[in-house]
C-alpha cells in the first residue's frame, strides 16, 4: 500500500471521526442537565440528513435556508421527545431509568416513520456552500473540500459548545444543574427549562451533523443506529461530559475503522474496532480525558 | 412582647417524603426584620420544614404566605424571584465551578446586567474578604468555613427579604462559628428577615428575637429567648421528650 493510500484512509478516518465526535457531543449536551443518554440521538442525525435531502433537493431550497429549517424542525422534535419520553419519567423517582426504554422507543418510532415517508434508498445531499465532493491532490494528500468542511465545522462547533458552557451564565447554569439539581433550584435555576432547552439543542446539533455528513455518507434512514454506536464509542474513549475528549475519541474511532479496511473484511472491521475500544477502556476506564468518578462519604 | 408584622407565615403545614408525614400541623411566623430560630433535635423535621417553605418539597396540607401572598406549591426556583432564599444544609455550592461563578449563579434568576452583577459580587467580597482572594479558584477547594460563607454570599447577592439558613455552623471550628454569627448580625442589620435552624443553641438564642422548638415534627414550644430560658423546654427537646410533655413544660 502506498503512502498516498494510507493518507487517503487517514483523511477519511479523521472526517468520519469528526462526525462521530459530533454525535458524542450531542449525547453530552442532552446528558449534562439530566444524566440521561438520549438513545434517539442517532436518529436525529438521520433526520437531519433526510430533511436536508427533502428541502434542498425536493424543494430546491438554498443550503442555508434549508439548514435553518432542518435545525428548527429537529429542535422541535427534540423538545417533543423530552416532553413525551423523558420528563414524565424523570419526575417520578421510581422510574428514574425508564428513559433507557422510552428514548429507544422514540428512536424506533422516528426510524419507522422515516422509512415510510422517505423510503430506504440512499439519497444525495448537496455539499456545504463553497465545498465540493471533487478530490483535490496536494503532494501525497488527496481529499475533498467537503471533508475539510466537516472537520473544520466539527472543531468550530465543539469550540462554540465549550464556549457556551464556560462563558455564558446559561451555560454555567447547565453545569450547576448537572452538579446539584436541588442546589441549582435554590439559586433560581430551573432544571426543567434547561433540560428542555438541552434536548432541543442536542437534537438540532445532531441534525446539523446529518446535514454536513450526508454528502459523504449519503442520506439514508439506516444511518442513525450506526452513528449512535460510534458516537457512544467516541464518548467512552473521550470521557463522558468531555467534549474535546469526544473529538479525540471520535478521531481515534474513525481512524481505526478506516485503517482496518486495509486488511479486514467489513464484518471483522467492527470486531477490530470494538477490540481497540475495549482495550483502551481497560487501560483508562474513565476515557482519555474523563474525570475519575468519585463519591463523597 | 409584640412581634412585627409577619413577612413569612406558615399555618397548619404538613409535609413528608412519600406518604409518611415528617412535619404535621406546624404554624410559625417570621416578622419583618426579625431573626427567628427553629430549634430541635436531629430528625425533628427542621430541614424538612425549610424545604417545604422554600418549595423543594410539596406540602400535603397547610398554608405558607410570603409578604401576604400564598406560596405553597410554588417551585423553589420561582420563590427565589419572590425574595425567599434558602441556604440549605451541607453547603450546597457548585464545587466544580469557580467562586466568582458561584456568586454569579446566585443572581441567575434576577436578569441583571453585567455591571449590576459585578457591583453585587463586589459587595459580597466586601462582606467576605477571603472569597475575593479565592475568586478564580474552584469552590470545592475552599475550606469548610469559606464554603459556608460562599453559600451565604450566593443567597445574599439576590438581596432576599427572607433568608433561611439550615445549620450554617455545622462542622465548623468555634472561631468560624463566631464568624458566621457576625455575618448573620450584619445581614440582620440590613433589614433582612432571618429564619435560622441551628444546633448551637446558646449562641442562637443570644442572636434571635424569637424561637420555635420543633419535636417529632410538631411545634412543641415557642417564645422569646428569655421566655424559653425560664423553662427547661429547649434542653428537653434535644433530649427527645414527647411534644405533649414539652407543651406542658413551656
- Are B128 and B42 within one domain? no
B97 touches chain A (CB under 8 A): yes
Among A13-22, A287-296, B19-28, which is the least confidently predicted range? A287-296
**What confidence score (pLDDT) does residue A203 get?**
98
Residues B232 and B165 in one domain: yes
pLDDT of residue A295: 42
CB B131 within 8 A of CB B156: no
- Please list, in sequence order, all residues whose beta carbon lies within 8 angstroms of the beta carbon of residue B117, skipping any fewer than 6 positions away: B104, B107
Q: Do B77 and B114 reside in the same domain of the chain? A: no
Q: What pLDDT was estimated at residue A30? A: 96
Closest-CA distance of chain B to residue A202, Å = 23
Report d(CA B7, CA B26) in Å as an integer: 17
Residue B1 counted as domain residue: no
Model confidence pLDDT, tens digit, residues A122-141: 999 999 999 999 999 999 99
Q: How close, in Å, is residue B125 to chain A by CA atoms?
A: 18
B181 in any annotated domain: yes
A115 touches chain B (CB under 8 A): no
For residue range B129-165, list pLDDT tens digits in order. Answer: 999 999 999 999 999 889 999 999 999 999 999 999 9
Return the domain boundaries, chain A.
Answer: 3-221
Residues of chain A neighbouring B158 (CB-CB closer than 8 A): 188
d(CA B14, CA B93): 28
Are B19 and B35 found together in one domain? yes
Q: Cα torsion at A110, A116, A118, A120 (round to 10°)?
A: 90
CATH classification of the domain holding B217: 3.40.50.300
Residues ≥6 apart with Cβ < 8 Å to B2: none
- pLDDT for the residue A90: 83
Whole-number pLDDT of residue A297: 37
For residue range A133-170, what is the model confidence (pLDDT) as tens digits? 999 999 999 999 999 999 999 999 999 999 999 999 99
- Chain B residue numbers with beta carbons less than 8 Å from the beta carbon of A187 are 80, 105-106, 108-109, 154
Q: B170 and B241 share a domain?
A: yes
The grid coordinates listed for A233 are 464509542
Is B105's CB within 8 Å of A172's CB?
Answer: yes
Per the structure, the count of domains in chain B is 2
| Alpha-carbon gap: A235 to the closest alpha carbon of chain B (Å) | 21
What distance in Å separates the CA atoms of residue A82 and residue B196, rounded to the nearest whole number?
39
Residues B207-221 as b or e (16 or more Cβ within 10 Å = b): bbbbbbbbbbbbbbb
Q: Which chain A residue has the Cα nearest residue B113?
A: A169
ipTM value, please give it.
0.90
Tens of pLDDT, residue by residue over B56-100, are 999 999 999 999 999 998 999 999 999 999 999 888 899 999 999
Rounded to whole angstroms, how far apart are CA atoms B148 and A276? 46
Q: At which of B111, B128, B159 does a domain end?
A: B159
pLDDT computed for residue A94 by the predictor: 65
Kindly report the number of other CB atoms within 10 A of residue A3's CB atom.
10
Specify the DSSP element, H or E, that contains B119. helix B114-127
Name the residue of chain A whose CA is nearest to B17's CA.
A93
By Cβ distance, the residue of B55, B97, B105 closest to A189 is: B105
Pair B151, B51 in one domain: no
Choose from A173, A175, A188, A196 for mutation: most chain B CBs within 10 A. Answer: A188
- Is residue B227, in this structure, part of any structural domain at all? yes
Beta strands in chain B (DSSP E): 6-17, 20-31, 35-39, 61-66, 69-70, 84-87, 162-166, 193-197, 210-215, 218-223
Banded pLDDT at B239 (limits 50, 70, 90): low
pLDDT at B42 over 80: yes
Count of Cβ atoms closer than 10 Å to residue A232 Cβ: 22
Reply yes or no on whether the pLDDT at A82 is more than 90.
yes
pLDDT at B63: 96
Using the predicted structure, report yes or no on whether residue B250 has a pLDDT greater than 50.
Answer: no
- Asked if B33 and B152 sit in the same domain, the reply is no
- Whether the CB-CB separation of B71 and B65 falls below 8 Å is answered with yes
B56 touches chain A (CB under 8 A): yes
Q: Which of B139, B159, B179 is the last residue of a domain?
A: B159
Do B149 and B98 share a domain, yes or no? yes
Residue numbers in A near B94 (CB within 8 A): 175-176, 179-180, 183-184
Q: Which residues of B223-238 are buried (b: 16+ CB within 10 A; e: fewer)?
A: bebeebeebebbebbb
Cβ distance A180 to B77 less than 8 Å, yes or no, reads no
Question: Is residue A23 pLDDT above 90, yes or no?
Answer: yes
Per cent of chain B over pLDDT 90 is 71
B54 touches chain A (CB under 8 A): yes
Examine the domain organization and report whether B179 and B72 are in the same domain: yes
Last residue of a domain, one of B138, B159, B180: B159
pLDDT of A97 > 90? The answer is no
C-alpha cell at B23: 412535619
Residue A246 has pLDDT above 80, yes or no: yes
B120 touches chain A (CB under 8 A): no
Tell whether B172 and B235 lie within a shared domain.
yes
pLDDT at A91: 80
Which among A179, A180, A189 has the least Cβ separation from residue B108?
A189
**Predicted pLDDT of residue A12:** 96
The whole-angstrom separation of Cα A225 and Cα A76 is 21
Look at B56 and A175 and tell me if their CB atoms are within 8 Å.
no
Same domain membership, residue B152 and residue B59: no
Q: Which domain holds residue B133?
A: 91-159
Q: Helix-strand-coil percent breakdown of chain B, rounded to 5?
A: 40, 25, 35
Query: Is the residue at B125 inside a domain?
Result: yes
- Could you tell me if B242 and B165 lie in one domain? yes
What distance lies between CA A160 and its chain's CA centroid? 15
CB atoms within 10 A of CB A96: 12
CA distance A122 to A114: 12
pLDDT at B248: 43
Amino acid at each position: 500500500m502506498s503512502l498516498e493510500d494510507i493518507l487517503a484512509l487517514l483523511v477519511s478516518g479523521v472526517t468520519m471521526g469528526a462526525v462521530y465526535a459530533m454525535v458524542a457531543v450531542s449525547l453530552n449536551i442532552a446528558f449534562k442537565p439530566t444524566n440521561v443518554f438520549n438513545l434517539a440521538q442517532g436518529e436525529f442525525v438521520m433526520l437531519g440528513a433526510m430533511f436536508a435531502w427533502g428541502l434542498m433537493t425536493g424543494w430546491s431550497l438554498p443550503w442555508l435556508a434549508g439548514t435553518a429549517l432542518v435545525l428548527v424542525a429537529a429542535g422541535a422534535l427534540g423538545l417533543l421527545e423530552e416532553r413525551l419520553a423523558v420528563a414524565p419519567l424523570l419526575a417520578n423517582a421510581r422510574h428514574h431509568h425508564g428513559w433507557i426504554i422510552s428514548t429507544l422507543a422514540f428512536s424506533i418510532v422516528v426510524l419507522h416513520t422515516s422509512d415510510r415517508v422517505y423510503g430506504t434508498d440512499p439519497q444525495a445531499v448537496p455539499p456545504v456552500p463553497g465545498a465540493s465532493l471533487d478530490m483535490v491532490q496536494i503532494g501525497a494528500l488527496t481529499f475533498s473540500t467537503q471533508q475539510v468542511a466537516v472537520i473544520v465545522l466539527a472543531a468550530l462547533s465543539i469550540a462554540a459548545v465549550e464556549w457556551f458552557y464556560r462563558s455564558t451564565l446559561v451555560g454555567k447554569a447547565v453545569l450547576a444543574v448537572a452538579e446539584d439539581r436541588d442546589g441549582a433550584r435554590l439559586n433560581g435555576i430551573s432544571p426543567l427549562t434547561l433540560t428542555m432547552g438541552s434536548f432541543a439543542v442536542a437534537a438540532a446539533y445532531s441534525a446539523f451533523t446529518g446535514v454536513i455528513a450526508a454528502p459523504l455518507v449519503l442520506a439514508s434512514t439506516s444511518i442513525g443506529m450506526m452513528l449512535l454506536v460510534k458516537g457512544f464509542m467516541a464518548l467512552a474513549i473521550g470521557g463522558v461530559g468531555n467534549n474535546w475528549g469526544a473529538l479525540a475519541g471520535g478521531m481515534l474511532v474513525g481512524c481505526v475503522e478506516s485503517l482496518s479496511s486495509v486488511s479486514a473484511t467489513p464484518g471483522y472491521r467492527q470486531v477490530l474496532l470494538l477490540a481497540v475500544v475495549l482495550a483502551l477502556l481497560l487501560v483508562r476506564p474513565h476515557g482519555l480525558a474523563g474525570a475519575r468518578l468519585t463519591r463523597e462519604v | 412582647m409584640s412581634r412585627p408584622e409577619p413577612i413569612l407565615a406558615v399555618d397548619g403545614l404538613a409535609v413528608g417524603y412519600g406518604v409518611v408525614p415528617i412535619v404535621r400541623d406546624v404554624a410559625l411566623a417570621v416578622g419583618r426584620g426579625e431573626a427567628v430560630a427553629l430549634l430541635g433535635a436531629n430528625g425533628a423535621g427542621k430541614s424538612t420544614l425549610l424545604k417545604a417553605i422554600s418549595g423543594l418539597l410539596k406540602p400535603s396540607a397547610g398554608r405558607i404566605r410570603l409578604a401576604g401572598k400564598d406560596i405553597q406549591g410554588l417551585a423553589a426556583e420561582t420563590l427565589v424571584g419572590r425574595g425567599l432564599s434558602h441556604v440549605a444544609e451541607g453547603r450546597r455550592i457548585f464545587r466544580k465551578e469557580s467562586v466568582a461563578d458561584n456568586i454569579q449563579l446566585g443572581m441567575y434568576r434576577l436578569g441583571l446586567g453585567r455591571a449590576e452583577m459585578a457591583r453585587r459580587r463586589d459587595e459580597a467580597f466586601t462582606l467576605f474578604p477571603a472569597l475575593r482572594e479565592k475568586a478564580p479558584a474552584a469552590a470545592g477547594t475552599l475550606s469548610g468555613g469559606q464554603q459556608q460563607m460562599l453559600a451565604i454570599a450566593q443567597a445574599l447577592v439576590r438581596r432576599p427579604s427572607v433568608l433561611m439558613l439550615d445549620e450554617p455552623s455545622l462542622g465548623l471550628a468555634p472561631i468560624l462559628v463566631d464568624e458566621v454569627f457576625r455575618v448573620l448580625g450584619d445581614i440582620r442589620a440590613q433589614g433582612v428577615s432571618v429564619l435560622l435552624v441551628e444546633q448551637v443553641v446558646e449562641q442562637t438564642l443570644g442572636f434571635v428575637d424569637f424561637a420555635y422548638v420543633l419535636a417529632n415534627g410538631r411545634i412543641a414550644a415557642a417564645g422569646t429567648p428569655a421566655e424559653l430560658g425560664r423553662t427547661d423546654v429547649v434542653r428537653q427537646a434535644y433530649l427527645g421528650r414527647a411534644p405533649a410533655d414539652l407543651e406542658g413544660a413551656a
